[in-house]
Amino acid sequence: MNNRSHWPLSELAFVWGGNILSKVMMFVATIYLANKLEVEGFGIFSTAFAVTNYISLALFTGIDTLTTAESAKLSPETVWPFSKELFHVRRKLANLAVILTALIALYLGRGSRDCGLALILFGLGFIPLQFYTVNLFYGLEWSWPIAVYFVGGRLVYLALLFTLVHGSSNLMAAAGAFTAAIAIENIFLFLCLFLRYGKVADRSLPVPKINLKPVLLLTLLSALLLLHENAPQFLVFFMKGEQEAGLYASSFRLIYTAVTFANLGGFVFLARFSKEGGEGTYKRTLLPALILGVLFAAAGYFCAGLIYSLLFSQSYEGGALVLKAGIFQMALVPLRVLAYQRVIAKGKARTALLPLVLGVILSIGLSACMISASGAIGAARGLFCGEAVITAVMLFLAR
């Protein structure tokens, strides 16, 4: 059994450093793709990616959460038998994801053949995801494969992009490069796991059974929040076409990257929120998070034109206005994340379900109305308004 109470600081820094570096490389990949595919191609790419990313997170969040918790209880002899059962469950989820992706691709392909084909290529990435074991390694506190996974996988992706994608005609190569990188990094994880634990496996020992029921509610809540975040991308593509979808995607990716970096440190508060005195920690954290969010958002607002002139080609003219329309959600998302963690720590997940459903419906409705009126700018405004609604709901429930 893994009996360390916590990771050594050096190993934790190794994992976090790899995670941060991987996000920097993904940002580089995004800017490269945006400029090479141009605005219409990037709109198609981003919409297809958003569909598969949503399916992936909605289906696998629960099993990933459970894997981290259960793997911390394993002895070296039971890691491999547990992994085989984990692969069996993940294979079923991967098959379901492939089927859902294929059905959506058939529907999208009627209006945009390129979007349908890109979605099929992205969907093939679900096949190697059955061997995804990063959360298992988190539970086992085995740090270097996690760091190599984060950094190595992104390096492979960047190398494939630089080799294969040189213009707007290489859209399918871009989608294929992402899927190939997913396959390579998950094969690496599988080999690490097998070489370390396969030979010491003892199948006579009891192995924890994987029961998804305890995490179904958290999975549903996560799926709702993800729907709120991704719906404007789907809606602007369907309602206004590829160019507006590309403009929106360029601004959303900038904001998403900034928020992701801000939230890297946010999740460390979940354990503190669960302890005695957690309410005080939560309240002390809110104001600094809001102030920092407002400052970064204000900087992004006033520098939007400069950011677009430095990072994007002329085909993204007008993107700075889209960025300005949605940039202040940077001030809201950290508050929503902190409040959501407080809600979970207080055991109020079931209470949050109905208000969150209503909030997401209102958010999507606002986005649809604003997109109809002003395209990509409306999508950004709609997401900001929806974020304000969802954040208000979370803050109310966390009070």
Tokens of 157: 């992706």
Q: Residue 188: is its pLDDT beyond 90?
A: yes
Region of poorest pLDDT, from 5-9, 26-30, 151-155, 258-262:
5-9
> Over 80: is that where the pLDDT of 69 sits?
no
Burial class (CB in 10 A: 0-12, 13-18, 19+), 28: middle
Q: Where are the alpha helices (DSSP H) in 124-241?
A: 134-140, 143-164, 171-193, 216-240
Confidence of residue 379 (pLDDT cuts 50, 70, 90): very high
Nearest by Cα to 393 from 165, 225, 203: 225
Name the E strands within the chain. Answer: none
| Tokens, residue 386 | 């929806």
Q: Is the per-residue pLDDT at 103 higher than 90?
A: yes
SS3 content of the chain, % helix, strand, coil (to 5): 85, 0, 15
Q: Say what the pLDDT of residue 274 is.
A: 43
pLDDT at 240: 93
Q: How far apart are CA 147 and CA 259, in angstroms?
A: 21
| Average pLDDT rounded to a whole number, residues 58-70 | 84
Q: Which residues contact 77 (CB under 8 A, 6 or more apart)?
A: 200, 201, 202, 205
Residues in contact with 69: Cβ distance below 8 Å, sequence separation at least 6, in sequence order: 139
Sign, CA dihedral 308-311-314-316, equals negative
Q: Could you give the CA distance from residue 279 to residue 391 in angstroms, rounded to a whole number? A: 18
Percent of the chain at pLDDT > 90 equals 46
- Contact in structure between 325 and 384 (CB atoms under 8 Å): yes
Please give the helix or strand (H or E) that residue 345 lies within, else none.
helix 333-345
CA distance 316 to 165: 19
Rounded average pLDDT over 27-37: 95
